[in-house]
A and B are shown apart, each in its own frame.
Chain A
């Protein structure tokens, strides 16, 4: 494909309660297959997707955090979380399944401006 665009996926929903989180992840993975640079920002309740200790077998769903922790293998290694979302939920990096960069509001606004396509889920 001739054109190249930078993609930012903003994932705002918690896992399992709806299909949004899975759809965001599938979109990111598919876009990476097209060899486009992809970053993911976890914001709001979306930061709960990264929480370690998820065992969704009882709700008959696949473990979303297991796929998330494999993202760097798919060349998606620019992963960000909203600092406000983390602080409001009493979370820090040690609670998460993989290392991510924490961004404040100014950092997030700048991140949006630096990407050609920004998709919210």
Chain B
């Protein structure tokens, strides 16, 4: 079965992102495929390279990155939601003339069309809402 996940919550603010991560791990362990994980709304903060939780707490952005590297996952952060909230890649930082960019390696910024495409191409779309 091919899944795509829609993650709507920021790490730490809401449990949704952590639930999505556990689901992804469990699905992969069962041999299912994950077509895409799409981060929307406050979920864009999952793609921050600058999140610095205390060492005894879960560093979800880092775990997403590691999972993506291990399984070649497509982690897409909604570009419109991200730039509004200050999650930028190098291109967007240049475009908006910002002094820095903070999109974590393993994530990419792209449009909402990637969510629609994921829903069309996958057997199931699972939303982790906040």
Q: Which residues of A contact B (CB under 8 A)?
A: 1, 3-5, 7, 19-20, 23, 26-27, 30-31, 33-34, 36, 117, 119-121
Contacts and interface: CB of A to CB of B under 8 A. Distances in A.
Interface string B64-92: 00000000000000001100000000000
A20 B113 contact: no
Nearest to B114: A30
A36 B120 CA distance: 9
Q: What does DSSP make chain B's interface, helix, strand, loop or mixed?
A: helix
A34 B113 contact: yes
22 contacts: A1-B117, A3-B120, A4-B120, A5-B120, A7-B119, A19-B41, A20-B41, A23-B41, A26-B112, A27-B115, A27-B116, A30-B112, A30-B113, A30-B115, A30-B116, A31-B116, A31-B119, A34-B116, A34-B117, A36-B120, A119-B119, A119-B125
A54 B125 CA distance: 33
Contacts of B40: 23
B52 interface: no
Interface of B: 6, 40-41, 80-81, 111-113, 115-117, 119-121, 125, 127, 129
B33 to A, nearest CB: 16
Given A5-B120, A20-B41, A120 B115 contact: no
Nearest to A119: B127
A83 B111 CA distance: 34
Contact of B127 (A7, A30, A120): A120
Contacts of A26: 80, 112
B113 A120 contact: no
